[in-house]
Structure 1
């Protein structure tokens, strides 16, 4: 059975080939030594940051294409399918880290889930261009790289502090560039919690009222906040996540439409086919061949 390649420990090895919860690579090193792996669709079991400091090319995340340029910073969740096609002069940094690397350091176990740029429901949130703060962000990556590779006694807690600094600066940049006001921060946080629950339960829970109950709000309030923050209702966000997974499975596996319907908890294949065609305009088998 054809499956999406899934990388775990192979991308969490340090220079001594020891498995770590955190690693940082020079992008040129990856392009030179392992570009054949990253240039095919794959997913990870860890979080990944990709920061472009030079060059150009294309980065494909699920079913969107990004033309990369200097200053682009990508945030990838575990499970997101991506590949890249960069020219040979492209440079930057790649950071891979496990959830435990951060959560073990913080009292808030959902810190990563509530960051606006780690989202599986909207790939548009997965990229920031930090032109105005390029030197500051580059300095953080340089400090992390120095601590990991050049210091005799690496202090991982210091690396965690640098990583948190990066996240908090990017969060501030995100809200500033999207013109969020102070009054919108609390509703935005609710939407992130909703998206976190959708990511966790979309295989089984399909209705806004089920998520509203988990969030202790009314379905109408959840819908209105999602519409205000995301431009889509709660139901549309749930359907978008199911549709994304459907496309991933159709394109990157050889599961039949019936098997995908069963995996996604549709009551039968015909119901899945109607759902898919309604939202894409074509049948699942046609989409697979396109």
Structure 2
């Protein structure tokens, strides 16, 4: 008895449909789409609910701020509120540009160029001398290590220059937590990144609480980059504004017991960094095995 053959018409079409279905089912969810505990959302999105808005079902979300100048125009620069990120470079899941695993707190879900697209206009960057260059590190004791170094600062600064080049009405502010000791180190990295041409001069900054120039004026003069350093001496030596001459911040007062806890946590963190050089995580089913290798 001869076996019967089965004919499938339009076989290429069937295969194409199957491939499309498989691709669709495996791709990450887009903004506004439902998501679950696996949190499989596109890059830059997170699985969230918003009960205040009646949205109790988890959806892939991103908070997109409005540009403050879209609400009212003609005000002084300091009369607007600008969205700013802390440790803007500390990307979750990042690996050091040195090739090392990073053992340092990570604050951001988006890279700096993505933050710019999402409306962030202020960036807090920790800059250190490292490997004969200026690096962005989330470190301690005023030193940068392989396992606290994220990347050379010029990479992020070039992203900012690209944004300013392509958006001639936008202004960026950089707050530098400054551990750089190399002579003219900040000046050099700003110049090499191409940002120097946009810098707002210290000579135009108000020192006694007066209003800043208007946003329109800063845009017209193409002085669209405001840079502050945490080192007061660099205002005279490099022409970079010392932040506390021009900036104020609200004070956060912890209760005494919490101050003690914070000191303890810092000391524990410092001890860990001083005595351990590597932190390796191995996933074993649903558990993690932590191996700590001590300095010899």
For Structure 1 versus Structure 2, the TM-score category normalised by the shorter chain is under 0.3
TM-score (norm 2): 0.25
State the structure with more CA Rg.
2
Bigger relative contact order (CA 8 A; separation at least 6): 1
TM-score (norm 1): 0.26
Q: Decide which structure has greater helix share.
A: 1
Q: Decide which structure has greater strand share.
A: 2
